[in-house]
Amino acid sequence: MKEEQLKHLWWQEGVIYQIYPRSYQDSNSDGVGDLQGIIKRLDYLKWLGVNAIWISPIFSSPMADFGYDIADYQDIHPLFGTMADFDELLAEVHNRGMKLILDLVPNHTSDQHPWFLESKSSRDNPKRDWYIWEDALPDGSEPNNWLSVFGGSGWEWDENTQQYYYHAFLKEQPDLNWRNPDVQEAMMNVMRFWLDKGVDGFRVDVMWHMVKDDQLRDNPPNPHYEPHMATYEKLIPAYSTDQPEVHDIVHKMRAVLDEYDERMMIGEIYLPIQKLMTYYGSDNNGAHLPFNFLLLSLKWEAQQIASNVDMYEGALPDGGWPNWVLGNHDQPRITSRVGSTQAKVAAMLLLTLRGTPTIYYGDEIGMRDVPIPPEEVQDPQGLNMPDLHLSRDPARTPMQWEDTNQAGFTDSKPWLRLPDYFRRINVKVQQDDPFSMLTLYRRLIKLRQEEPALKIGDYIPVYSDNQVFSFIRKSGDSRFLVVLNLSHRPCYFKPKHHKFTGVVVLATFPERENTAITESISLGGDEGILVRLDA
Ligand code: GLC
């Protein structure tokens, strides 16, 4: 659909910024970030130019999975503050004209949630069916072969009631039974509680896990499994995830959002493009933005990325809005994946593609994965599979604000260590440096907001080979050409069927700006340019 035909909403035009609250800003000297800390940094986010903030879970939790194990969906964990702090945060975000997106974790609760405590108390408790309880097989073994994402079996034996319960993640995170209408209603009421407060949307955790096969059939083996992979990868989760009935649930959640004005829902979904698209729902009555993790999962190769961008664009349903992600709290950081110079090209890609970009905190200053010594590892995924290097701690380290002690994050000992070089790589140092990553992010965001072609315009692929990826963004007569060298070696951009003239308005090496483009373009390794084309 052409952009002119659509009315665009804030979550289509805006840039989303993800905050991992433990690591953003500590305000009470306990070494863990909190809500008052975030409030203190809102002016920074306004300055950066982002429009919406998504905060990873801040709710009551035993913290077995750092807040993704929730014991009360309607209360704030004291580590992060109080409900009054939350209300203040929401008001302060709104005062600045920004939006606030919360993390909703509907697939599982904590094993300390009162619902689960009741459910496990006896087989005839009214909440027994709120979770997935099953008898052992005749030999006493698990009901089927399903595995936990965090290692080992997905089933945990309960001695007291002599049944197994299913947990896709830790045993401290029992999966809810979404086939039970009371579970559905309870979670919809959780949504209403936050929507009534004025929250602008949710990022829904592991949306594709929410419903399981009703016959609990065994998952098939994965022929591509290799020993360096997580044990979960041994099987293809054909029956434990992405079941057809999940779409009814997503639709019901959407209907709750639609009771309010302009609220939205992002779905966390790791699935191939064709399957991902089904989460937009028939007639777009599903998730507003099923998270698109292509840039996280593909090899950083121009041709691969270009063809997948085209496939993704081509697969979008009518009226389905695209989105792009370079990093999150579960994945290695982009700077560590592609190198700090290439990470600037990645930033240019993220912020010039068509669709809502999500920036992971710290990526805007090129934070790298921080090595955490084995005895300091905190992430259960890392602790459970120690030889596989799967800890997510390195991408969750404290935000590097300045070159004072503990980088301005805290004045006590941070919950995860800072890298030795934080005095060199931090917000303060980069804020006034015209060549910094932060300046590049800020300028890209600003230009994107100012130019309809970049914000909402059409995407037109131009040319790609094993080094270059190029495309045009267009709105009316205004056209921008984006040329990115995704390799470290110099290259030429000389598409056969086009002749472009224009001026470079933004470049990863800013010295290139304001130069005219007439003939072929040569690019240095790790270089990206944004050209305003002549009308
Ligand atoms: C999602 C979260 C991840 C968490 C898991 C279980 O993938 O992003 O951090 O561990 O769900 O809730």
68 lines ligand 1 (CB under 6 A): yes
What's the confidence (pLDDT) of residue 520?
Answer: 86
Give the pLDDT band of residue 87 (cuts 50, 70, 90): very high
Q: Minimal CA–CA distance to 259: which of 318, 178, 204, 194?
A: 194
Q: List domains and CATH numbers for the chain.
A: 10-107+181-445 (3.20.20.80), 114-166 (3.90.400.10), 458-533 (2.60.40.1180)
Give the pLDDT band of residue 498 (cuts 50, 70, 90): confident
Planar angle of CA 26, 77, 79, nearest 5 degrees: 30
134 lines ligand 1 (CB under 6 A): no
Q: Residue 28: pLDDT above 60?
A: yes
Q: Whose C-alpha lies nearest to ligand 1, atom 4?
A: 68
Asked if 452 contacts 475 with a C-beta cutoff of 8 angstroms, the reply is: yes
Residue 56 is classified by DSSP as: -
User: What rounded mean pLDDT belongs to the chain?
Assistant: 97
Q: What is the pLDDT of residues 226-276, one digit of tens each?
A: 999 999 999 999 999 999 999 999 999 999 999 999 999 999 999 999 999
What's the confidence (pLDDT) of residue 6?
Answer: 60
Cα–Cα distance for residue pair 354/332, rounded to 1 Å:
24
Asked if 263 contacts 201 with a C-beta cutoff of 8 angstroms, the reply is: yes
Cα(149) to centroid of ligand 1, in Å? Answer: 10
Cα–Cα distance for residue pair 4/142, rounded to 1 Å:
55
Cα(237) to centroid of ligand 1, in Å? Answer: 16
Q: Whose C-alpha lies nearest to ligand 1, atom 5?
A: 68
Annotated catalytic, 259?
Answer: yes
Asked if 346 contacts 334 with a C-beta cutoff of 8 angstroms, the reply is: yes
* Most informative mutation of 105, 169, 325, 381 for ligand 1 (most atoms within 8 A of CB): 169
Cα–Cα distance for residue pair 383/105, rounded to 1 Å:
22
- The active-site residue out of 214, 259, 262, 376 is 259
Q: Residue 173: pLDDT above 80?
A: yes
Confirm whether pTM is higher than 0.95. Answer: yes
Angle between helices 181-197 and 246-257 (to 10 degrees): 30
Give the pLDDT band of residue 1 (cuts 50, 70, 90): very low
Q: Which atom of ligand 1 is nearest to the CA of 169?
A: 6
Q: Minimal CA–CA distance to 462: which of 363, 531, 403, 398?
A: 531
Query: If you average pLDDT over residues 128-150, what whole number do you get?
Result: 98
Q: Which amino acid is at 386?
A: P
Q: Which atom of ligand 1 is nearest to the CA of 330?
A: 9
What's the confidence (pLDDT) of residue 261?
Answer: 96
Cα–Cα distance for residue pair 7/367, rounded to 1 Å:
36
Cα–Cα distance for residue pair 128/131, rounded to 1 Å:
6
Q: Residue 5: pLDDT above 60?
A: no
Sequence-ordered list of residues with C-beta below 8 angstroms from that of 306, at least 6 positions apart, any chain: 461, 464, 469, 471
Query: If you average pLDDT over residues 294-317, what whole number do you get?
Result: 98
Asked if 368 contacts 135 with a C-beta cutoff of 8 angstroms, the reply is: no
175 lines ligand 1 (CB under 6 A): no
Query: If you average pLDDT over residues 435-448, what whole number do you get?
Result: 98
Cα(215) to centroid of ligand 1, in Å? Answer: 25
Q: Residue 519: pLDDT above 90?
A: no
Q: Which atom of ligand 1 is nearest to the CA of 381?
A: 10
Q: Kindly report which listed range (4-8, 33-37, 375-379, 431-435) carries the lowest average pLDDT score.
A: 4-8
Alpha helices in 265-374, H assignment, sequence order: 273-277, 294-297, 302-315, 334-338, 342-352
What's the confidence (pLDDT) of residue 518?
Answer: 87
Cα–Cα distance for residue pair 136/149, rounded to 1 Å:
21
69 lines ligand 1 (CB under 6 A): no
Count of beta carbons in the 10 Å neighbourhood of residue 507: 21
Query: If you average pLDDT over residues 456-468, what whole number do you get?
Result: 97
Q: Minimal CA–CA distance to 50: which of 444, 474, 345?
A: 444
Q: What is the pLDDT of residues 53-86, one digit of tens each?
A: 999 999 999 999 999 999 999 999 999 999 999 9
